[in-house]
Amino acid sequence: MKFVFMFAAVLLALLPFAAKAQIVANVLNYRLDVDDLIEVSVPNHADLRYAGPVPPGGKISLPEIGVVTLVGKTCSQLEAELQKKITEFRNSVTVDVILLEARSKMVQIVGSTLKTQGKYTMRPGWRLFDLVAAAGGIGAKPNKVNAKLVRNGKLVQLNFLAASDKPDSDDNVLLQPGDMVLLDEVDTVHYFVSITGEGQKRSVVELDQDMDLYRLVLMGQPTEFSDLAKAHILRGTEEIPINLESIDTAKSDEKVTNFKLKPGDTVFIPRIETKFSVLGLVGKPGVYPLPTKKPVTVLDAYALVGGSQGGDPSRAGILRTTDKKPTIIAVNIDKMLKKSNLDKNIALKDGDILYIPPKGSGGFKLENLVTPLYLLRLFGI
């Protein structure tokens, strides 16, 4: 019959067999409704032709045939009924009923985030994302889409992200004829993350709906020199302390997990305040930050400064102040390196000074450090 070819021929050429069969079944079983655009024709009998929408009453009147009910019938059923009535007064005639447009089953989708917007003929079982697919998809992430449904004059808010994550759920709402779907991109919300430390970085992060404090901080790329325990949130004139050390552990902190970010928040993570010094005849003498995440040993510090430059690492020493009392700890770096004797490869503590004396100086002595330079470094000036 003509209506099958006019309604589905193009789709049939593009789809696999199972899909073709389903489309043919849908068209054959389609029941006419008010506003559907149809054509009834009898070849060589122009007076029996009708082309137009199904009227509000669901009926039309044809010469000699009289009033015919259209609503609720398939095209093939209507053809058979008209054929039977016409053969009562005309011989050798054929009746064709063509569905030009299923207006009664139209649904509409509009919005700035759509690739294509317009009206579409709804198929049985269509849901929200079937209509989105028919429109060519969206140009934004699902969590950036604000979706609304206009049905029978009422506006209904939809959860587009949930529908995307679980297409079989009720969030992927079942459509009804006449529905209009509105899709717009959600206004972007920004949060500032400021990370200070090794390789200082400040970045503006676009917030997703599932963004939490953990993800926000990790995007700021804290380093081993970032003091996560002393982090705080700057919110206007308010400063909110928060311990982010759990980021480096397998255990989650409910205080961090449940923390609710607000527009304009700044996450500030300071550089660690603990430090140690390496002085004497080394490549890069100076003051260095002491990470809290992992220990820095004597050999770590020695390698960090580029080793000795004409000094005597076998007579090195550590000046450690405990309760304001200085203590010298002798360390033989040569022995550690050549004989793998690591007993003295101890971890440095906050305020420790590793000193590499000159050769022939008789070893490490406290007076080697009591110099203007040492005093400046000791008091952080």
What pLDDT is stored for residue 373 in this prediction? 47
Mean pLDDT of the 11-16 span: 41
Q: pLDDT at position 25, please?
A: 47
Q: What local confidence, expressed as pLDDT, does residue 195 receive?
A: 53
Q: Global pTM?
A: 0.43
**Which of residues 243, 269, 295 is at a domain's end?**
269
Bridge partners, 353 (sequence order): 277, 319
Q: Within this chain, do residues 83 and 19 fall inside the same structural domain, yes or no?
A: yes
User: Do 236 and 171 belong to one domain?
Assistant: no
Under DSSP, the state recorded for 63 is: T
Q: What percent of the chain has pLDDT over 90?
A: 13
213 and 121 in a common domain: no
Is-contact 183 145, C-beta < 8 A? yes
Residue 302 has pLDDT above 90, yes or no: yes
8 A C-beta contact, residue 163 and residue 172 = yes
> Are 228 and 263 found together in one domain?
yes
More confident: 201 or 148: 148
Strand order through the sheet with 180-185:
118-121, 106-110, 180-185, 145-151, 154-158
Residue 213 — φ and ψ, nearest 5°? Answer: -65, -40
Q: What is the pLDDT of residue 24?
A: 47
Residue 304 has a pLDDT of: 92
pLDDT tier, 211 (very low <50, low <70, confident <90, very high otherwise): low
- Rounded distance between C-alpha atoms, residue 72 and residue 346, angstroms: 89
Asked if the model's pLDDT at residue 199 lies above 50, the reply is no
With CA atoms as reference, report the closest residue to 58 among 50, 47, 67, 46.
67
Q: Is 373 exposed, middle or buried (0-12, 13-18, 19+ CB in 10 A)?
A: exposed
Q: State the pLDDT at residue 189.
A: 59
What number is the average pLDDT over the span 187-194? 59
For residues 9 and 88, membership in a common domain is answered with yes
Same domain as 249, residue 206: yes
Q: What are the Cα distances from residue 120, in Å, to 54, 105, 110, 173, 319?
A: 18, 8, 11, 16, 81
Burial 16-32 (b: 16+ CB within 10 A, else e): eeeeeeebeebbeebeb
Q: What is the DSSP letter of 274?
A: -
Q: Give the lowest-confidence range in 75-79, 110-114, 312-316.
A: 110-114
The CATH number of the domain where 8 resides is what?
A: 3.30.1950.10
**Digit-coded pLDDT (tens) for 214-238:** 777 776 677 777 788 888 888 878 8
In terms of domains, do 41 and 63 share one?
yes
Instruction: Give yes or no for a contact between 361 and 326, defined as CB atoms under 8 angstroms apart.
Output: no
Of the residues 269, 285, 318, the one at which a domain ends: 269
What percentage of the chain has pLDDT greater than the value 70?
A: 79
pLDDT confidence of residue 142: 84
Please check whether residues 112 and 179 belong to one and the same domain.
Answer: yes
| 75 vs 19 pLDDT, higher one | 75
Domain identity same for 194 and 265: yes
Residue 278 pLDDT exceeds 50: yes
Q: What pLDDT is stored for residue 372 in this prediction?
A: 42
Q: Given a cut of 80, is residue 95 above it in pLDDT?
A: yes
One domain for residues 116 and 79: no
Task: Return the pLDDT at 296.
Answer: 92
Out of 101, 126, 142, pick the residue that ends a domain: 101
> pLDDT of 111-164, one tens digit each?
888 888 888 888 778 899 999 998 888 888 888 888 999 988 788 999 998 998
Asked if residue 113 and residue 76 are part of one domain, the reply reads no
CATH classification of the domain holding 240: 3.10.560.10
Among 23-27, 176-180, 205-209, 243-247, the minimum mean pLDDT is found in 23-27
**Is pLDDT at 210 greater than 70 in this prediction?**
no
Structure confidence at residue 371 (pLDDT)? 52
342 and 279 together in one domain: yes
Who has greater pLDDT, 46 or 189? Answer: 46
Q: What is the mean pLDDT of the chain?
A: 78
Residue type for position 307: G
Domain count, the chain: 4
Q: What is the mean pLDDT of residues 160-184?
A: 90
> Which residue segment(s) compose the domain that 10 sits in?
2-101
Find the helix or strand (DSSP H, E) in which 149 lies: strand 145-151
pLDDT at 172: 93
Give the Å distances, CA to CA, from 249 to 48, 214, 252, 269.
82, 12, 8, 17
pLDDT of residue 18: 43
- pLDDT-based confidence at residue 366 (cuts at 50, 70, 90): low
Give me Rg for the CA atoms of the chain.
40
Cβ proximity of 41 and 108 under 8 Å = no
